[in-house]
Amino acid sequence: MANRFHLEKCRAVITGASSGLGAEFARQLAPQADTLVLVARRAEALEAVKDGLSIFQAKILCCVADLATDAGRNTVMTFLAMHDVTPNLLINNAGMGDYGRFTSSTADKTRTQIELNITALTMLTHAMLPKLARPAGVLNVSSLASTLPMPELAVYAASKAYVTSFSEAMAIELAPQNVTVSCVCPGPTPTNFSKTAKRDDGSDTNRDGQTLLRIPPSQVVARALLALKRGEACVFPGMGVSLASCLFRHTPKKIMRWLLRRRLGKE
């Protein structure tokens, strides 16, 4: 039986809270939270999110940290100790992509992507689990991209396959410890994601068919929080994304490879 997690009076750490889905998690949790710790690199953007939440009772703290580094991840743990915050919810949301061929990607961006999407999520969870007050929640932001290999977004899709797999395993392993683990797999969502993923000299991603899948960040976040409340291990927000995920997961590999090759050839 899955654990349910109650959001009322939660003390949450939200990574990547300076924009997009992370800022939206902060907005939707603020009316009911006790404390929110907003983590990202851009101090001003974090403060702007915090200012927008000043009408609520919740205590909002901004922690500036580069989660793609060990030092940044340690900063978060030190920050929590310094401010005497014992969280009961960790939202691993910070993440980034890189549109284009693997061979022409820079080593730096590839490494940062792995550090942020995989290492930060894993090591923050590892460091925080012993400290999370029970009952606890961990919400990981994966992607629809986790369901299929994606040429020209290869490292990103593979990193999100890791996130989904890790989350599913943790949901089972941590349930007896009163920790609810959920994973949300959004489809294309209007945030700063594309701007960051686009290379300076590169093209945008192929957006064929994406209109049918796109839903606003508010709906993605509402569905993700509902999953945590219900103790659902993995959700695909939106009817289109949900259908696409079924299609991607059940299409025979041979056919999927053919389709992906055709799609790449068109560009």
Ligand X SMILES: NC(=O)c1ccc[n+]([C@@H]2O[C@H](COP(=O)([O-])OP(=O)(O)OC[C@H]3O[C@@H](n4cnc5c(N)ncnc54)[C@H](OP(=O)(O)O)[C@@H]3O)[C@@H](O)[C@H]2O)c1
- For 17, phi then psi, to 5°, come to -95, 5
Residue 16 contacts ligand X per CB under 6 A: yes
**Binding to ligand X, residues 57-76 (CB under 6 A):** 66-68
Number of residues that bind ligand X (CB under 6 A): 28
* Among 2-10, 25-33, 99-107, 187-195, the segment contacting ligand X (CB under 6 A): 187-195
**Binding to ligand X, residues 134-173 (CB under 6 A):** 141, 143
Q: What is the DSSP letter of 175?
A: G
CA gap 260, 113 in Å, rounded: 23
| Residue 176: CB minimum distance to ligand X, A | 28
CB-facing half-sphere around the CA of 209: CA atoms within 13 A: 6
| Residue 38: CB minimum distance to ligand X, A | 9
- Structure tokens, 82: 């310094």
Residue 244 contacts ligand X per CB under 6 A: no
Based on CB atoms, which residue is closest to ligand X, 85 or 221?
A: 221
Residues carrying an active site annotation: 156, 160
Per-residue binder mask for ligand X (CB under 6 A), 81-120, x = binder:
------------xxxx-------------------x----
CA gap 73, 65 in Å, rounded: 7
CA gap 223, 229 in Å, rounded: 10
**What is the Cα gyration radius of the chain?**
18
Based on CB atoms, which residue is closest to ligand X, 45 or 244?
A: 45
CA gap 137, 155 in Å, rounded: 27
Q: What is the per-residue burial (b if ≥16 Cβ within 10 Å, else e) of 166-192?
A: bbbebbeebbeeebbbbbbbbbbbebe
Based on CB atoms, which residue is closest to ligand X, 46 or 171?
A: 46
Residue 207 contacts ligand X per CB under 6 A: no
Exactly one of 30, 45, 139, 221 binds ligand X (CB under 6 A); that residue is: 45
3 state SS of 76: helix
Q: What are the residues binding ligand X (CB under 6 A)?
A: 16-22, 40-42, 45, 66-68, 93-96, 116, 141, 143, 186, 188-189, 191-193, 196
